Amino acid sequence: MAANSLDRAKQAVRTQVWDALTAADAVHGPSVHGRIPNFKGAEEAAARLAALPAWQHASVVKAVPDKAQLHVRARALEEGKTVYMAVPKLATLKPFYLLDPAALTVPPAVAAASRTAAAIAPTVEVDALRPLDLIILGSVAVNRDGARIGKGAGYSDIEFALLTEAGLVTPETVVVTTVHPLQVTETPIPTTEHDVDVDLIVTPEETITCPNPHRPSGVDWSALTTEKIATIPALMARQIS
């Protein structure tokens, strides 16, 4: 599928899900379009995730900063897990916030908020991260095979690729997304080589194990424009080295 056609197909799936969530009054806030849905039931999904062996065995978690995953981040910190969270748009050479539960100066539920984390957490370079046991992704849509779509900026895929190249994502690392049931779509999701699939989908009512999820082996430089690379210092540094 040509790039423009693929982008249009992905956007059609996003719009379908955003419209369904809006019609069902299933999200917080006035509008969900253009966003990772802050879905109602996110706290219950976080609790379901926390009951899974993959969560209980994890000590190092990399999580998205989206509001829908706030309860996941808070729970991780409350349980003593180290949490890494990306700097918005990976815009600094040290592109991850380090939330160390032993060093927090505010309660975990407060520290887990993206604005608070930005104010209190140190930033670290990719190579300074510890190997990741669990990666939490936000999604607009996902299917039962594990294919997912974010809001379209591509930062989650770039983060994953950088972390993979640094040896921080291993075959044992579990990739999870928490979503509303309406975000689990039967509509085919077009994917590319650099898209990251998930191992597990967790809704407030259901845990879905995905068969043979795809993972990129590293940065797909051919999929990145010169302009995109120039806005992400960690990519620039790897390209130069």
* pLDDT, tens digit (0-9, with 9 covering 90-100), for 164-194: 999 999 999 999 999 999 999 999 999 888 8
For residue 238, is pLDDT > 90? no
Q: In Å, how far from its chain's centre is CA 230? A: 22
What DSSP line would sit under 25-58, residue for residue?
T-BSSS--TTS---BTTHHHHHHHHHTSHHHHT-
Give me the residues paired with residue 123 across strands: 97
- Condensed to tens digits (0 to 9), the pLDDT of residues 73-83 reads 999 999 999 99
User: What is the pLDDT, as a whole number, of residue 240?
Assistant: 67
Residue type, 172: E
Give me the amino acid identity at 125. E
pLDDT at 224 over 90: no
- Please state the φ and ψ torsions of residue 136, each to the nearest 5 degrees: -105, 120
Summarised one tens digit per residue, pLDDT across range 115-132 is: 999 999 999 999 999 999
Domain count for the chain, please give it: 1
Lowest mean pLDDT across 30-39, 49-58, 62-71, 152-161: 152-161
The mean pLDDT of 219-226, rounded to a whole number, is 84
pTM of this structure: 0.94
Residue type, position 135, single letter: I
- pLDDT of 241 reads 62
Residue 90 above 90 pLDDT? no
3-state secondary structure of 73: helix
Range of the domain at 227: 3-240
Map residue 216 onto helix, strand or coil: coil
Beta bridge partners of 61: 83, 134
Residue closest to 106 by CA, chosen among 120, 118, 96: 120
Read off the pLDDT band of 1 (50, 70, 90): low
- How does residue 87 score in pLDDT terms, banded at 50, 70 and 90? very high
Q: pLDDT at position 36, please?
A: 96
Label residue 157 exposed, middle or buried (CB < 10 Å: 0-12, 13-18, 19+).
Answer: buried
Q: Which residues pair with 154 in a beta bridge?
A: none
pLDDT score at 228: 87
b/e sequence 15-51, b meaning 16+ C-beta within 10 Å = eebbebbbeeebbeeeebeebbbbbbbbeebbebbbe
pLDDT-based confidence at residue 143 (cuts at 50, 70, 90):
very high
Residue 40, domain CATH? 3.40.50.10420
C-alpha span between 176 and 215 (Å, rounded): 13
More confident residue, 47 or 92: 47
Give me the mean pLDDT over the 14-24 stretch: 97
Confidence at 151, pLDDT banded by 50, 70, 90: very high
